[in-house]
Structure 1
Amino acid sequence: MIIILAAAPLLTVSASELPDQADEAVIGIRVAPPFVIEEEDGTYSGLTIALWEHIADQMGTDFRYTKHDIQGLLDGAADGSLYASASALTITSEREESVDFTHPFFVTGLGIAVSYQPTGAWQSFLAIFSFDFLWVLLLLFLLLLFWGFLVWIFERKENTEEFGGSAAEGVGSGFWWAAVTMTTVGYGDKSPRTLGGRIIGFIWMFTGIVVISFFTASIASSLTVTQLDTRVSGSDDLPFVRVGALQQSATMDYLDTERIRANSYETVEAGLRAVEENEIDAFVHDAPIIQYFTQLDFRNSVRVLPNTFNDQYYGIAMPLGAEYRNDMNRIILDYIASEEWEELRNRYLGD
């Protein structure tokens, strides 16, 4: 975009700093909703657009927008053909070598988009009979049988009223006692009377607390994993699955640093569509951006995992040594502390 140099007291930019000595300042943008949104009539909106237009208004300047890819935004700011690049540009040490950034106006993190098939009540009920769930039930059954057998060993002769009969009947009574003791129901119909039996009972009471906690956690984990139906639960899983990221992005640089192989995509929509069509297992990008596209076009096929990682700081890029950088920083710091900015965040990103 191009900014007209008015007699604004805050801005001290020489004519040589403007691209082509023009009356307007050229502002590079890249469509990246909800930060830069291209409307049907060709105008632009979004959180970054609102911020930049506030800056331009405060500095009394005029401008025009031009669209670029990420590399174009950085190259244009570096060679001075762009007065500034305003989009969802992540501040990195490598980029700081060729351009200057303003103070961060937004802090987020990387998010992971994965395949998602929503389940109804009937599917959730069937998930109870997953292999993992049945395996936990079997382990619990064997554990109760083991402690029931131990208490029967001590009680079978001196407590025949409660643990007598055949071996099967005695062990069955022990199994029942172990179950009601573990669940703290404690009907009182069966209880050990011998010293050995009471020691077994004492140990099992405390062991049962741990068993109940483990059993509950295992069941919850089994049901959750079954319903999500995804191989990815966090960033630690990325080295072992098929990953995608936006080309030329800071995300791709991060994945390269972490030695995580990733397919590159020209747009966020293309990456999310690859997840939807099972071409990749996870698409990694800035969390608010993939959340926006997921809610817009992929609500029933792709979901974004709740946790973020590798903090991302967004700033506006400009040529190295630009004299107007300090003025822009002051305006940004005042604006992002205002109620108006909070309302804009809620409008474009939600509460």
Structure 2
Amino acid sequence: MIINKDRTFSGLSILLWEKIAEELKIDYEITRHNLPDILKSVARGELNVGVSCISITPEREELIDFSHSFYETHLAIAVKKQGYAATMKNLLTNTKLLIVLGFLFVAACIVGGIYYLLENRVNDKLYSMNTKRAKLIEGFILGLLFITKGPFNYFEFRTLPGRVLTVFLAIFTTFFIASITAMLASTFTLGLLSSDINGPNDLANLKVGAKQASTSSFYLTNQSIVHRAYPDIESMLMALNNNEVNAIVADAAVLKYLIKKHKEEGKYEELTVLPYQFEKQNYGLVIENNSPYREQLNRALLKIRKSQEWRQALNTYFAEQ
């Protein structure tokens, strides 16, 4: 839920409720509450419906009831992009990158060594240097080019074993090069974000923030990850931008939407959501236990979810730019 400058409310859950109220032809009044107060007030019968992007959990359903899910999402991690110096340090110490480069070096040595044994005495075109050491270097370069660039012309090799090997390596390197390219691209892309975080397990030794009494906070607690609790996501985003924490955890959809909106206003330009999602979440409206309006509300909700207007709203709120 978003509070506008004119003190009105907007957001995906508010839009949904407005459409439900219109469908059911009911009058309503919206008042502002934090998440724990919404759950307690609905449980005590002081509120009829709690409208927000509230995750449906077994623990909460022990106290109150929920509508059908109106949006499915996951938890996600947001970080602040690093500076060039930190990025280069992370890339140079990135274990995956070092393993890939080491594998390329070994593969080039093996391929180059095999071709050297087969071709160095009969192929003056590929091995033109006079000394054995220089020819070995040529063999390594040949192997490296074969591994990274792809197969050479079949007729560049003089021996039959060399030509047969070329055919087999041509098939192998077609897939190998594509795999290595994808792996390196992923490694460099994530290195520009935060190569230290490859998922929630990497948060244990970092300063992490989460919204108090939220699903993300409960998840981190269950995973024994110490974290700072913030009253709302806006406070979390500010803390992340000010380097008070290394990462924040919240619903992916909410993080993407708020960061997107702030970037449109020229704020938080360096914040980004990592491409790792975990712990599936289902959003629902909070309703009283045994509410007489439950069936009517759910029927209206399902009808709205199928509408083109709802799909457009999801694209507006959550599509990344």
TM band (smaller chain):
0.7 to 0.9
Structure 2 unaligned residues grouped into runs of 5+ = none
Residue number in structure 1 paired with 2:42:
77
Q: Cα–Cα, structure 1 residues 339 and 170, in superposed 2: closer, same or farther, change >3 Å?
A: closer
**Which is worse superposed, 47-56 or 133-142?**
133-142
The correspondence for 1:267, drawn from 220, 226, 232, is 232
1:46 aligns with 2:15: no
Query: Which amino acid is the alignment partner of residue 227 of structure 2?
Result: A
Query: Which stretch shows the higher mean deviation, 135-144 or 234-243?
Result: 135-144
Mapping of residues 194-205 of structure 1, within 5 Å: none
Give TM-score, length-normalised by structure 1. 0.73
* Distance 1:191-1:275 versus aligned 2 partners, 3 A rule: same
| The 10-residue stretch of structure 1 (45-54 or 68-77) with the greater mean CA deviation from structure 2 | 45-54
Q: How far did residue 51 of structure 1 move?
A: 2.3
Contact 2:259 2:271 in 1 (8 A): yes
State the alpha-carbon separation in 2 of the partners of residues 151 and 350 from structure 1: 51
Measure, in 1, the Cα distance between the counterparts of 2:153 and 2:167: 16
After superposition, the C-alpha distances for 1:3-54 in whole angstroms (9 at most, x for unaligned) are xxxxxxxxxxxxxxxxxxxxxxxxxxxxxxxxx2212222222222222233
Do the aligned residues in 1 keep the contact of 2:154 with 2:166 (CA within 8 Å)?
no
Percent identity over the alignment is 30
Task: Provide the aligned length of Structure 1 versus Structure 2.
Answer: 309
Match of 1:335 in 2: 304
Q: Which runs of 5+ in 1 are unaligned?
A: 1-35
**SS of alignment partner, residue 335 of structure 1:** helix
CA displacement at 1:151 relative to structure 2: 4.1
Give the TM-score normalised by structure 2.
0.79
How many angstroms apart in 2 are the aligned matches of 1:38 and 1:316? 18
Equivalent position of 1:144 in the other structure = 108
1:291 equivalent among 240, 252, 256: 256
- Aligned position for 2:64: 99
User: RCO higher in 1 or 2 (8 Å CA, sep ≥ 6)?
Assistant: 2
CA contact (8 A) 2:198 2:276 kept: no
| Contact 1:101–1:316, Cα closer than 8 Å, also in 2 | yes
Secondary structure of 1:260 counterpart: coil
Matched, 1:308 2:277: yes
Q: Deviations over 1:93-121 (max 9, x none)?
A: 111111121222222221211112487xx
- The aligned counterpart of 1:5 is none
SS of alignment partner, residue 29 of structure 2: strand
For the 8 Å contact 1:147–1:178, the answer to whether it is kept is yes
Matched, 1:225 2:190: yes
- Cα deviation per residue 1:224-259 (whole Å; 9 max; x = unaligned)? 233223422333433453322100112222222333
The CA deviation at 1:131 is 6.0
What does residue range 1-351 of structure 1 map to in structure 2 within 5 Å?
Answer: 36-117=1-82, 130=92, 140-141=104-105, 143-153=107-117, 159=122, 161=124, 165-179=130-144, 181-182=146-147, 183-186=149-152, 191=157, 193=159, 212-213=177-178, 215-297=180-262, 298-350=267-319
TM-aligned CA distance change 1:167 to 1:51, over 3 Å: closer
Q: Is the 8 A contact 1:192 1:201 kept in 2?
A: no
Local SS of the residue matching 2:39 = helix
CA gap 1:48/1:238 in 2 versus in 1, 3 angstroms: same
Q: Pick the structure with greater CA Rg.
A: 1
